[in-house]
Amino acid sequence: MKQVRGTCLLAGFFTLTVLLIPVQWAALRVSKRMAARIPRFYHGLVCRLIGTRVHVSGVPLSGEQPVLIAANHTSWLDIPILSSVVPCSFVAKSEVGGWPFFGTLARLQRTVFVERKRRHQTAEHRDRIHERLAAGDTLVLFPEGTSGDGNRVLTFNSALMSVAQRDVRQGLGSTKVKVQPVSVAYTDLHGLPMGRYYRPWFAWYGDMDLVPHLWEMFCIGPIDVQLRYHEPVTIDQFQSRKELTHHCQSLVADGVAAMLAGRAPWRDGREEASGDAETDQAVAAALRS
């Protein structure tokens, strides 16, 4: 039955993707707004198709403002999971752009490709990220620089976080880039706590091949994933970009540890960040936008 499930889900995934690729291609040439919303619609369908239930706590920023999301990275599933909540693009290593099929998907979502191993190009990459933020895009950065096994958060690198040091011009004035730390935790399998043994089955790291990894995930599910959107910050709250980076890492790591330990706000039907009706409405409005 696992193989039957995997075959059906894989066929559905590729069928859905192939149907929407030309739609997104056309949207990129017609409407920036539509080109941002179609991937969110697509990734939401992908999550539902493969049985990934996404639970959100905290208030995700969205709208025409410069937002840089700093999240931990575990799996290729991080992409559809984060994309299903707010319209966003990603900062990814340049090798992704050359991947068959998935490289095309990344370009259609307007991914910013960077050469992580070439330090002398950091300023160039920072400028490209800054341009996108100045245009009002929400960009997701994985400061770990790689993916982990899902049981812990790796050290955040501060190089590309330097984009938060530059103001973004808006209208007649300027504003600071908002950096929002986000914790991503894979917590449940078939409605039961996943545990340290099964979590790496959904993590894609090291020298794992992508296609066999996808097949295993499609066969095993469904799973529950938690997203914790922490309070956004700006660089002027810190003395340096390294201090900002350390702050984001600490929040993300603490959030992941809490959610993996079973302190899941969605289990009892409430949002962790919801202290009053006004906050609940803000969460709902952000998720609908």
Question: pLDDT 10s per residue in the chain (289 long)?
Answer: 778 888 888 899 999 999 999 999 999 999 988 998 999 999 999 999 988 999 999 999 876 678 999 999 988 889 999 999 999 999 998 888 888 888 999 999 999 998 866 666 777 888 899 989 988 889 999 999 887 778 889 999 988 898 998 888 766 567 889 999 999 999 998 888 887 777 777 776 656 676 777 777 777 778 899 999 999 999 999 999 999 999 999 999 999 999 998 875 655 444 443 333 333 344 344 434 4
- Spatial CB neighbours of 90, under 8 Å, sequence gap ≥ 6: 79, 106, 109, 111, 112, 139, 140, 141, 142
The pLDDT value recorded for residue 63 is: 65
The pLDDT value recorded for residue 166 is: 85
Helix (H) or strand (E) holding 282: helix 277-288
The pLDDT value recorded for residue 50 is: 87
CA distance 185 to 150: 7
Please count the residues of the chain: 289
b/e 153-178 (16+ beta carbons within 10 angstroms → b):
bbebbbbbbbbbebbbeeeeeeebbb
The pLDDT value recorded for residue 191 is: 86
Q: What's this model's pTM, rounded to 2 decimal places? A: 0.85
The pLDDT value recorded for residue 287 is: 37
Q: Which of 100, 95, 136, 137 is nearest to 113 (CA)?
A: 95
Secondary structure of 219-250 as H, E, C letters:
HHCCEEEEEEECCCECHHHCCCHHHHHHHHHH
The pLDDT value recorded for residue 171 is: 60
Coil, strand or helix at 271? coil
**Structural tokens at position 68:** 């840089």
Instruction: Read off φ and ψ for residue 189, nearest 5 degrees.
Output: -125, 120
Q: Which of 98, 7, 79, 94 is nearest to 39 (CA)?
A: 79
Residues 160/125, Cβ–Cβ less than 8 Å: yes
The pLDDT value recorded for residue 265 is: 60
Pairing of strands 168-170, 173-175: antiparallel
Strand segments, DSSP code E, in the chain are 52-57, 67-71, 89-93, 112-114, 138-141, 168-170, 173-175, 178-189, 192-193, 223-229
CA distance 78 to 72: 9
Pairing of strands 178-189, 192-193: antiparallel
The pLDDT value recorded for residue 273 is: 38
Coil, strand or helix at 283? helix
